[in-house]
Amino acid sequence: MVLLLSISTIFLSLIVSVSAILPDGRVHGNVPRRPLGPPITAKDALVKDFQGQTLAPLDTVYYFDQLIDHTNPSLGTFQQRYWASSQYYKPGGAIVLYTPGEENAEQYTGYLTDATINGQIAKQENAATIVLEHRFYGQSTPYGNLKESSLKYHTIQQAIDDLEYFANNVVLPFSGGDSVKPVSQAPWILIGGSYSGALVGWTMPNLFQAGYASSAVVESIVDFWGYFDVIRQFMPHNCSADIQAVINHVDQVFTSGNTSQILSLKANWGMQDVTHLDDVAGALRNNLWTWQELSPGSGPGAAFFDFCDALEVKNGVSAPAAGWGLNYALAAWGNYWKNGYLNQLCGGSNAGNCLSTYNSNNPYYSNTTLGNDQRSWEWIVCNQVGMFQDGAPTNHATIVTRLVQPSSDERQCTYYFPETFSQPRAPDITATNVVYGGWNATVNHLFTANGQRDPWRDTTVSADGSNAVSTPEQPIAVGDGFHCSDLFTYYGQIDPTIRAVQNQALSSIRTWIAEFQPSEKRSLRSAREQE
């Protein structure tokens, strides 16, 4: 039985929050996650192969003995979880490998199916599909905790080495799964989205025959104010105009020293208990981070649109493009917060505790328990990629406060990881971009897909400041989607620009896989040509 999911079921499963809700309710938006995959029910999980043989359920967990440290194999191995399906596989076919990156992978078994681009490619190439959990996320952690002594083995390079070691050594759980080694036996296709999309290009050379990178955040940036600038460009103009007016007013008042005006503004949002003014202003980003939840199928009821409606719809009438102006927008935004949003954000806890970034003793900074994926990502952020989402420079329009700068995020790194960061310091993004190429990396047979409305777009090769050029060997395709929209079959059905991206990818990958020759055959052919 081929897996079939109703379009409505798939659609509902994709409208999920991708900003990180910390244990006390505070939201932090620096996690570039792709949307969760379609849900797999007990019935859906029962699939058959091309011969009609019933396969293990799609949610079956398999384990691979992964090296703890690829520079020192003597440290031993840990159990890395993965999921696999041979429902589309035929002997001689390809292998599609996907990792969701910075999150528990058990939520991504839908990526084994043709509800995603993974499955579309697998059906075209008679391929098996795999979802591999990234080290230090979910349950795939060497030492069962997220202490700094353990996290020293959590680096981008170790993750790259994991993918390579897995591909070269795994025995897949289906007939013939011991004879599909990359290069020498079968073509492998690496797929990822967002951070894991960047991993695709960084891992591919010399091992994978083809790659598909969706919304790949390849350029590490410390002061990533461009995140909110994409939102400013594509959000409703009336909402953008009013938010800019309010934020400019907030920054002016909070730097003026006028105590009565400052207290009045704090009370406007119910944040009288929040001590630091940059925390008050910075908390307003939470409404804008919900943009990352949007998809081509989003409509009324989406959190971002509800927020803008609260500011721009007055007595059933929408504001003109210029908005209603400062006074109305300020009051409307305050009412939105005090009449439900603040309680939703903080779970009923005190706003001073919930929204403060200055309390180094807050438990979420020291939570080292297995499964705290936010902490694992913060380790990579603080050490290697940055991507701190703050206000734009003074010579550029902004929809978030300029009072919050990367120094605030760097200070919090010392709370998360005091043994590693005795003093605030910027992540070493120069090393990351030099080693992996950033916007300028050249990788043959890498297909890159991006969305115009993706807030992470300025870290991708489709950034406004990037000079990356699309070529037949390294195509770059851009649709009208949001973050990783092109990973989903359904979004291609409702948005022709996304479907065009998917079709182009399928065509490119078909060509690249057709070029594959096992290394033994290549060696034999080379020897014959030399005779």
Could you list the active site residues? 194, 454
Q: CA distances (Å), 478 to each of 122, 214, 308, in order?
A: 22, 10, 27
Is 98 strand, coil or helix? strand
Selection from 338, 349, 355 nearest residue 275 by Cα: 355
Contact 204, 183 (CB under 8 A): no
Residue 23 CA to residue 248 CA, distance in Å, equals 31
Q: Which residue pairs, CB below 8 angstroms and at least 24 apart, start in 4-11?
A: 4/44, 5/38, 5/39, 5/44, 5/110, 5/113, 5/115, 7/490, 7/493, 9/38, 9/39, 10/38, 10/115, 10/488, 10/489, 10/490, 11/297, 11/490
**Tokens for 111?**
């990526």
Phi, psi angle pair for 33, to nearest 5°: -75, 150
Residue 361's SS3 state is coil
Burial per residue of 318-346, b for 16 or more beta-carbon CB atoms within 10 angstroms, e otherwise: ebeeebbeeebbbebbbbbbeeebbeebb
Q: Report DSSP state, residue 48.
A: B
E-state strands within 124-277: 128-132, 188-193, 210-214, 221-223
CA distance 268 to 39: 41
SS3 479: strand
CA distance 253 to 274: 16
Single-letter amino acid, residue 301: G
Q: Hey, what are 260's tokens?
A: 């009565």
Residues with Cβ < 8 Å from 155, sequence gap 6 or more?
A: 380, 383, 384
